[in-house]
Amino acid sequence: MPMKNINIKCIYRTAENPRGSHNLLEDDFIVKLQIDDAGEVATWSVDDRTACFYTDLAKYDATEIFFEGSEI
């Protein structure tokens, strides 16, 4: 069975760090996921038109996608 490709439109609104949560200028971006037969993420990428760089896809399940990392 071939892998499934999923494109998700996200809206970047806040940043959280040890000093708290900060509201940001909203920005749309696309996350592209490739899911294997077991439902696990095989590959993922964030479109490069944003200034958002993520170090890790921390969580992916039926209700939540969570990235941890840093922003530039």
One digit per residue, pLDDT tens: the chain, 72 residues? 678 888 888 777 777 777 777 777 777 778 888 989 888 888 888 776 655 555 677 888 878 887 776 654
Q: Which SS3 state, helix, strand or coil, does residue 42 take?
A: strand
> Hey, where are the domains in the chain?
4-71
42 CB-near residues (< 8 Å, 6+ apart): 3, 34, 35, 36
What is the predicted pLDDT for the residue at 39?
84
Instruction: Name the pTM for this structure.
Output: 0.59
